[in-house]
């Protein structure tokens, strides 16, 4: 028996050699040690040796690519030898005794073919059948019969295989866009390479190209190294293993392992396999539904634009097209395909890739118009742009594209790599072109707004000159190119301001207006760009709540600029007091609670006598009732506070005014131990630890006016009751909270508090240090008691 413990350190070819030798020896020992049955009277003499029996490998060993710590898929094929069961036991048991996982079966050729013709997974596996030891003629007969059955049953099995892959893709996702990709089962992973070979075996498409085999081999290398590092089976490239795998495979930048380079190459490989698989399935579907006589019918060719026609379900070159002499043909054809919700034929793509001349710079008006027409097609433009990208044509038009191509985005909000996110944003912007005066600038800005992520530094700042340069090359005027640069520079201005600043503060409105230079058209375009960017990111990044806040901010700024404001420009979109629905306690100390449905959640208005620590106690009550606070404001008149909270139920249960009123009254009376109850809630839901990242605290004194004297920003791991603890810490240090904006960024929280010092003056360095110490302690679970500090957290 070989040293199986050394297998992970061997190359794939060496693992195959060692395993084949071991398994061949097992079969030989089994044949030698199994006595033949007695000869029947008048029958043929019993056979000896390996005649009539073959040990066949399927799966990864059959493909000669067994991974470290992989299992074995073996079939013992026979032609009716009566002692085959004993032979099988003599082979299987030593494998089990060696601790190797085994998937096994014993079949005659007829039995194997019967199973393969009805079970698509079994049929797929038998296509990889390879003789390990025994009767070569029997193994050859198995392979010949399996291939014939696969081709004969292709019309029934291939649609099943397609549906299996599509279902798995929905469950696991696309390899190209996963931050922790499943190298085998994600769409575009190793399974796709195996499926492409199987479809080729049905003789419906060509064998996978050398390029496809190369990216498939790269994914095998990544999986092998992953399993070698972890010492166990598994195909998911988890975050903590990416750096050591990158180092082992030579992805090193400036002497350090570069996991982003590794993930980018995995994405590129997955995109290529997925792209080829998509095209393969389109051709398979066309072949399977074709009528017997269809090949003899003349296919109609419908003109779409100069030089391109529709032929069937594809766009191809017209007979009189001259791609080498027509620099506008590429984008003209792409735009025509997207407008018709079609794709360019693979042959047409290859012809254009070989013969298309460079586009003159600046682009001629006709070329720029075709490009804008492509982007304006919306969702159908996405697969067409992917075609251009896969053939290297997009990078010819936009050389800067290579810097963001398949660039991973580590933020949990992002569903896509940078380049795909930009294409998705352009598709989303196409639905908003009727809302702006310059749809051309909106479409190009959406496509380029994150182009700076391909360079070091703040991507918004770095991206401004890059985008302006691209716009100039496209033939836009100097003014328009500068505007596009401005849109890229400030594409995060509106959403960041809306969720992190008090949009009732005049200083906030003034700052936004000054940032955009008082240009109402830029404001209009930034609003549409924010919507497109958010929609292309994720539903978490662009919720109805955020859309409502941004729209309100735009209305306020528009009013300041002298434009036509929306109807709610002078009213907060969410945080306005409502009539109480419940009253509790006596007249002097009445607690009132009102609940109203608003965008993407509810608004809770609580009235209560002002006292130190009121805001934090109210926040604790809401946390106990599983309500996530996203914004809050408080106002005090004649000793009575009115606090307004925008909330969203964590588990879908709307807040109940009566329950909230009782809890508030108990918290104010001291009969509800908020800190203890929240700690217990964390323990019950295992929310107490979070990620071990240090909190970050920032001060923004220059961005406020009026009553507040500063904005303090706290970024920390999210946990139940975090707002309660933070506001208790601020109150204990003598700061009044007038409003708050709460944002959850994956597992992190970003909380912004407008605070007032008791003297109404700027907070000095000494008090800042004390506040920061208290806030850090609060993020770790400490709950100071503001009632003992002499401070309060509502202005009184």
- Whether 774 and 718 share a structural domain: yes
Whether 106 is in a domain gets the answer yes
Q: State phi, psi for 596 to the nearest 5 degrees.
A: -140, 140
- Whether 147 and 160 share a structural domain: no
Domain final position from 522, 540, 573? 573
What integer best gives the mean pLDDT of the chain?
A: 88
Domain final position from 378, 397, 416? 397
Helices 190-201 and 154-172: crossing angle in degrees, nearest 10, is 170
pLDDT tens, residue by residue, 322-343: 999 999 999 999 999 999 999 9
Residue 786 has pLDDT above 60, yes or no: no
pLDDT bin (cut points 50, 70, 90) of residue 543 is confident
The CATH number that applies at residue 131 is 3.30.460.10
- Whether 431 and 517 share a structural domain: yes
- Whether 390 and 429 share a structural domain: no
pLDDT computed for residue 286 by the predictor: 85
- Whether 562 and 451 share a structural domain: yes
Worst-scoring range by mean pLDDT, 417-421, 484-488, 780-784, 792-796? 792-796
pLDDT computed for residue 566 by the predictor: 45
Question: Higher model confidence: residue 599 or residue 44?
Answer: 599
The encoded tokens of residue 725 equal: 């603890």
pLDDT tens, residue by residue, 118-174: 888 888 889 999 999 999 999 999 999 999 999 999 889 999 999 998 898 889 999
Which structural domain, as residue segments, surrounds residue 732? 582-788
Those residues with Cβ within 8 angstroms of residue 514's Cβ, 6 or more apart along the chain or in another chain: none
pLDDT bin (cut points 50, 70, 90) of residue 577 is confident
- Whether 423 and 556 share a structural domain: yes
The CATH number that applies at residue 444 is 1.10.3210
Residue 623 has pLDDT above 70, yes or no: yes
pLDDT computed for residue 243 by the predictor: 95
Residue 568 has pLDDT above 50, yes or no: no
Cα separation of 394 and 426, whole Å?
A: 15
Those residues with Cβ within 8 angstroms of residue 460's Cβ, 6 or more apart along the chain or in another chain: 452, 488, 489, 490, 491, 492
Whether 42 is in a domain gets the answer no
pLDDT computed for residue 632 by the predictor: 86
Whether 478 is in a domain gets the answer yes
- Whether 443 and 380 share a structural domain: no
Whether 751 is in a domain gets the answer yes
Question: Higher model confidence: residue 683 or residue 206?
Answer: 206
- Greatest alpha-carbon pair distance for the chain in Å reads 115
DSSP readout, 631-670?
EEEEEEETTEEEEEEEEEETTSPPPPHHHHHHHHHHHHHT
pLDDT computed for residue 290 by the predictor: 57
Residue 791 has pLDDT above 50, yes or no: no
Cα separation of 753 and 794, whole Å?
A: 12
Worst-scoring range by mean pLDDT, 120-134, 441-455, 735-749? 735-749
pLDDT bin (cut points 50, 70, 90) of residue 14 is very high
pLDDT bin (cut points 50, 70, 90) of residue 789 is very low
- Whether 209 and 106 share a structural domain: no
Whether 331 is in a domain gets the answer yes
The encoded tokens of residue 790 equal: 């002499």
Residue 528: which of 416, 471, 446 has the closest Cα?
446
Average pLDDT in the 283-302 region? 69
- Whether 694 and 747 share a structural domain: yes
pLDDT tens, residue by residue, 667-720: 998 899 988 888 887 776 554 444 456 889 999 877 766 667 788 999 888 877
Average pLDDT in the 455-483 region? 96
Rounded (5°) CA angle 177-182-185: 105
Whether 181 is in a domain gets the answer yes
pLDDT computed for residue 630 by the predictor: 82
Proportion of the chain above pLDDT 90, given as a percent: 61
pLDDT computed for residue 555 by the predictor: 94
- Whether 656 and 747 share a structural domain: yes
User: How would you class 437 by CB atoms within 10 Å of its CB: exposed for 0-12, middle for 13-18, buried for 19 or more?
Assistant: exposed
pLDDT computed for residue 538 by the predictor: 82
- Neighbouring C-alpha atoms within 13 Å toward the C-beta of 786: 29
The CATH number that applies at residue 269 is 1.20.120.330
- Whether 544 and 476 share a structural domain: yes
pLDDT computed for residue 116 by the predictor: 86
The encoded tokens of residue 186 equal: 């994600």
Residue 472: which of 363, 373, 310 has the closest Cα?
363
Residue 151: which of 181, 126, 182 has the closest Cα?
126
pLDDT computed for residue 356 by the predictor: 94
Domain final position from 238, 256, 289? 289
> Which residue pairs, CB below 8 angstroms and at least 24 apart, start in 540-544?
540/413, 541/413, 541/414, 542/495, 543/600, 544/599, 544/600
For the chain, report the end-to-end CA distance as a whole number of angstroms: 84
Cα separation of 777 and 790, whole Å?
A: 19
pLDDT computed for residue 542 by the predictor: 85
The encoded tokens of residue 482 equal: 């500068």
Cα separation of 793 and 757, whole Å?
A: 10
pLDDT computed for residue 32 by the predictor: 86
Helix and strand element counts for the chain (H, E)? 30, 19
Q: Under a CB-based contact definition with an 8 Å cutoff, are residues 407 and 338 in contact?
A: no
Residue 489, SS3 per DSSP: helix
User: How would you class 740 by CB atoms within 10 Å of its CB: exposed for 0-12, middle for 13-18, buried for 19 or more?
Assistant: buried
Whether 402 is in a domain gets the answer no
Whether 309 is in a domain gets the answer no
Query: Which residue is it, tokens 């080498």?
Result: 324
Residue 493, SS3 per DSSP: helix
Cα separation of 746 and 751, whole Å?
A: 13
- Whether 533 and 605 share a structural domain: no
Cα separation of 395 and 358, whole Å?
A: 11
Cα separation of 285 and 159, whole Å?
A: 8
pLDDT tens, residue by residue, 366-396: 999 999 999 999 999 999 999 999 999 999 9
pLDDT bin (cut points 50, 70, 90) of residue 567 is very low
Q: Under a CB-based contact definition with an 8 Å cutoff, are residues 584 and 546 in contact?
A: no
Average pLDDT in the 96-108 region? 93
The CATH number that applies at residue 337 is 1.10.110
* Count: domains in the chain: 5
Cα separation of 504 and 268, whole Å?
A: 46
């Amino acid at each position: 028996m070989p040293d199986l413990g050394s297998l992970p350190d061997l190359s794939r070819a060496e693992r195959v050699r060692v395993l084949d030798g071991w398994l061949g020896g097992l079969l030989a020992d089994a044949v030698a040690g199994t006595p033949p049955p007695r000869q029947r009277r008048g029958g043929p003499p019993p056979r000896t040796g390996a005649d009539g029996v073959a040990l066949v490998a399927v799966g990864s060993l059959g493909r000669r690519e067994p991974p470290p710590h992989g299992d074995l898929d073996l079939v013992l094929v026979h032609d009716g030898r009566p002692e085959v069961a004993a032979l099988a036991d003599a082979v299987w048991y030593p494998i089990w005794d060696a601790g190797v996982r085994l998937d096994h079966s014993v079949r005659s050729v007829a039995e194997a073919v019967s199973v393969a013709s009805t079970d698509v997974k079994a049929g797929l596996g038998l296509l990889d059948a390879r003789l390990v030891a025994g009767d070569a003629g029997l193994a050859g007969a198995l392979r010949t019969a399996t291939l014939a059955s696969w081709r004969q049953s292709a019309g029934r099995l291939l649609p099943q295989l397609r549906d299996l892959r599509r279902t798995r893709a929905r469950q696991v996702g696309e390899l190209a866009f996963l931050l922790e990709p499943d190298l085998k089962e994600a769409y575009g992973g190793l399974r796709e390479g195996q499926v492409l070979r199987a479809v080729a075996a049905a003789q419906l498409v060509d064998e996978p190209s050398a390029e496809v085999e190369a990216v498939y081999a790269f994914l095998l290398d990544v999986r092998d190294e992953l399993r070698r590092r972890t010492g166990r089976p598994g195909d998911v490239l988890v975050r903590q293993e990416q750096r050591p795998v990158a180092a082992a495979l030579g992805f090193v930048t400036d002497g350090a392992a570069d996991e982003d380079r590794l993930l980018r190459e995995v994405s590129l490989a997955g995109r290529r396999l997925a792209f080829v698989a998509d095209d393969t399935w389109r051709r398979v579907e066309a072949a399977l539904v074709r009528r017997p006589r269809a090949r003899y019918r003349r296919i109609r060719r419908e003109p779409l634009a100069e030089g391109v026609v529709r032929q069937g379900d594809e766009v191809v070159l017209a007979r009189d097209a001259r791609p080498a002499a027509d620099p506008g043909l590429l984008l003209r054809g792409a735009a025509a395909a997207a407008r018709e919700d079609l794709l360019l034929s693979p042959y047409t793509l290859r012809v254009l890739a070989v013969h298309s001349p460079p586009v003159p710079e600046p682009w001629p008006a006709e070329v720029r118009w075709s490009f804008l027409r492509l982007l304006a097609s919306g969702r159908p433009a996405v697969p067409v742009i992917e075609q251009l990208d896969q053939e290297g044509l997009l990078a010819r038009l936009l050389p800067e594209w290579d810097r963001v191509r398949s660039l991973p985005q580590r933020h949990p909000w992002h569903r896509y790599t940078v380049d795909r996110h930009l294409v998705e944003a352009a598709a989303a912007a196409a639905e908003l072109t009727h809302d702006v005066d310059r749809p051309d600038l909106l479409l190009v800005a959406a496509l380029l707004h994150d182009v700076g992520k391909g360079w070091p530094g703040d991507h918004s700042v770095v991206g401004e000159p890059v985008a302006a340069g691209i716009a100039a090359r496209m033939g836009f005027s100097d003014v328009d190119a500068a505007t596009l640069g401005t849109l890229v520079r400030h594409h995060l201005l509106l959403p960041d301001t809306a969720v992190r600043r008090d949009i009732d503060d005049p200083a906030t409105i003034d700052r936004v207006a000054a940032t955009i230079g008082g240009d109402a058209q830029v404001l209009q375009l930034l609003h549409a760009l924010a919507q497109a960017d958010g929609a292309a990111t994720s539903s978490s990044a662009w919720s109805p709540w955020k859309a409502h806040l941004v729209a309100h901010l735009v209305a306020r700024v528009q009013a300041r600029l002298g434009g036509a404001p929306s109807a709610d420009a002078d009213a907060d979109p969410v945080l306005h007091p409502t009539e109480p629905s419940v009253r509790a306690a006596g007249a002097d100390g009445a607690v009132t609670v009102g609940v109203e449905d608003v965008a993407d959640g509810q608004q809770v208005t609580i009235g209560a006598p002002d006292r130190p620590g009121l805001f934090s106690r109210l926040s604790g009550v809401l946390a106990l009732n599983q309500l996530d606070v996203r914004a809050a404001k408080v106002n005090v008149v004649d000793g009575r506070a009115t606090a307004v909270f925008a909330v969203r139920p964590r588990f879908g249960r709307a807040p109940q005014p009566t329950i909230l009123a009782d809890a508030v009254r108990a918290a104010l009376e001291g009969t509800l131990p908020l800190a203890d109850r929240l700690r217990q809630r964390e323990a019950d839901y295992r929310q107490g630890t979070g990620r071990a990242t240090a909190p970050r605290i920032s001060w923004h004194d220059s961005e406020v006016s009026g009553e507040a004297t500063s904005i303090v920003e706290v970024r920390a791991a999210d946990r139940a009751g975090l707002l309660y603890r933070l506001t208790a810490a601020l109150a204990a240090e003598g700061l009044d909270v007038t409003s708050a904006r709460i944002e959850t960024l994956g597992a992190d929280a970003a909380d912004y508090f407008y605070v007032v010092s008791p003297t109404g003056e700027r907070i000095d360095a000494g008090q800042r240090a004390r506040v920061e110490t208290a806030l850090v302690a609060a993020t770790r679970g400490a709950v100071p008691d503001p009632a003992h500090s002499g401070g309060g957290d509502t202005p009184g």
